[in-house]
A = this chain, B = another copy of it.
């Protein structure tokens, strides 16, 4: 066999491993989705066993000698140079993953897994008891193990950089510090200005649910209708109800969105649109990268993924243009809205004000919630913040940035599940996503000056095509940085985001710039 045939054989072997991994990941996603949507309660433990079985298979395949050896071979300069761009991107991603996986001793992984397996429960219990002190020892252990892990992976790097890179390949403290400095000061400035506005209290007192009772069935019907306008092909996705909305991929033609209906009509509406944004991304990958590491969960940029959900939820469906075109139809479905003006309704779903809980916060203040978490994580890694003091630090930061203090830990330091799940370094991707979404909108608008009219008409053809061409098709075959640079003509620019916030909220609250 000659070298070329050999290479073909190796690539074929890689394909078949990747196909199996893709199938297993889909099965794992189904087990998890079904747990939230359908599973009878008492099956909890047996489902955990089923999920573990598949997870172990995925892990074993990902760390198998065969795969490691394939990647080692393909990484040899003489071979790597002959690969297609897509294959190069694959090899890069595997090396990025394997570097971490192969450097951390098995004993450490086992200890960490064991600790995590009890930490989530500890967090749930501590929340119920409203006691950070109860959760603290568990969280300390998690951070201690993370510090150790960082040393194994790169003893010279700032430990936080090691984990930021887990969620957004290549990003560092240096990048984020710079971005967040500007972000924080701009948000605080905008917030201070709208607070001074005469309309601030008047607008912020009127929530959309105060207008009447939005029937559950109609809420769902309208949300699904809108979702179909975004996703188009109903034979490739489905929508179910869960307590917490999410999106998951069972296979490339089987995307599941979940939602929940609340008295606030924008909850299901916004969450379905949000998850549809994630779904459209996953539905639009180029067929050449399906069933490979280039579309797998841990490879895709979380920030870019989030930019898609936030684009549809915030930029499209919370915009004036959208409601200008949609409101009369929407109000015809809920008769009590007949006496509510478009302006009033639009304002009611765009209230901006300091609140305690990140996931309930608005577009403007959301960034502050993320910045607080980022500062805390960074502080713990560089030793300036102690896990023991976290509740005090948390409350002080909320007081400083948002002017409010949690009355209890469940509304404060114990509100997020991320830390108890070991997801440290994750938070920044949320707000990076928001920033990307504004840049994407601006880039689109440059190309199509009638973009707002499209949105008003609920005509999403241009948007859908643009997103597929500039963002979606690539999956993880390019980094988010490369994709944004090519799509928007520049790197992440925080000022585009804060200019958007200024324009939007100054108009709502009648603040002169």
A 31-57 contacts with B by CB, 8 A: 31, 34, 37-43, 46-47, 49-50, 53-54
Q: Known contacts A43-B253, A250-B43, A253-B43; is A26 also within 8 Å of B50 by CB?
A: yes
A 228-277 contacts with B by CB, 8 A: 233-238, 240, 250-256
A23 within 8 A of B: yes
A 202-241 contacts with B by CB, 8 A: 233-238, 240
Chain B residues with Cβ under 8 A from A30's Cβ? 30-31, 34
The answer to whether A42 touches B235, judged by C-beta atoms less than 8 angstroms apart, is: yes
Chain B residues with Cβ under 8 A from A54's Cβ? 27
Please give the distance in Å from A67's CB to the nearest CB on chain B. 17
* CA A256 to CA B40, docked complex, whole Å: 9
A136 within 8 A of B: no
Q: How large is the interface on A (under 10, 10 to 19, 20 to 34, 35 or more residues)?
A: 35 or more
Task: Encode A44-87 as 1/0 by CB contact (under 8 A) with B.
Answer: 00110110011000000000000000000000000000000000
Q: Known contacts A23-B50, A34-B30; is A42 also within 8 Å of B240 by CB?
A: no
Please give the distance in Å from A199's CB to the nearest CB on chain B. 45
A20 within 8 A of B: yes
The answer to whether B40 touches A235, judged by C-beta atoms less than 8 angstroms apart, is: yes
A24 within 8 A of B: yes
The answer to whether A46 touches B253, judged by C-beta atoms less than 8 angstroms apart, is: yes
Please give the distance in Å from A84's CB to the nearest CB on chain B. 24
Please give the distance in Å from A61's CB to the nearest CB on chain B. 12
Chain B residues with Cβ under 8 A from A255's Cβ? 40
The answer to whether B23 touches A236, judged by C-beta atoms less than 8 angstroms apart, is: no
Q: Give the nearest-CB partner of A290 in chain B.
A: B46
The answer to whether B23 touches A253, judged by C-beta atoms less than 8 angstroms apart, is: no
Please give the distance in Å from A347's CB to the nearest CB on chain B. 37
Chain B residues with Cβ under 8 A from A250's Cβ? 39, 43
The answer to whether A251 touches B53, judged by C-beta atoms less than 8 angstroms apart, is: no
Chain B residues with Cβ under 8 A from A31's Cβ? 27, 30
* CA A359 to CA B138, docked complex, whole Å: 59
Chain B residues with Cβ under 8 A from A237's Cβ? 40
Chain B residues with Cβ under 8 A from A50's Cβ? 23, 26-27, 251
The answer to whether A20 touches B53, judged by C-beta atoms less than 8 angstroms apart, is: yes
The answer to whether B240 touches A43, judged by C-beta atoms less than 8 angstroms apart, is: no
Please give the distance in Å from A222's CB to the nearest CB on chain B. 21
Please give the distance in Å from A249's CB to the nearest CB on chain B. 10
Please give the distance in Å from A447's CB to the nearest CB on chain B. 30
* CA A236 to CA B42, docked complex, whole Å: 6
For A31, A41, A43, A236, the residue with the greatest tally of chain B CB atoms inside 10 Å of its CB is: A43
Query: A39-B254, A41-B235, A42-B233 given. 8 additional CB < 8 A pairs?
Result: A26-B50, A30-B30, A37-B38, A38-B256, A39-B238, A39-B250, A43-B250, A43-B251
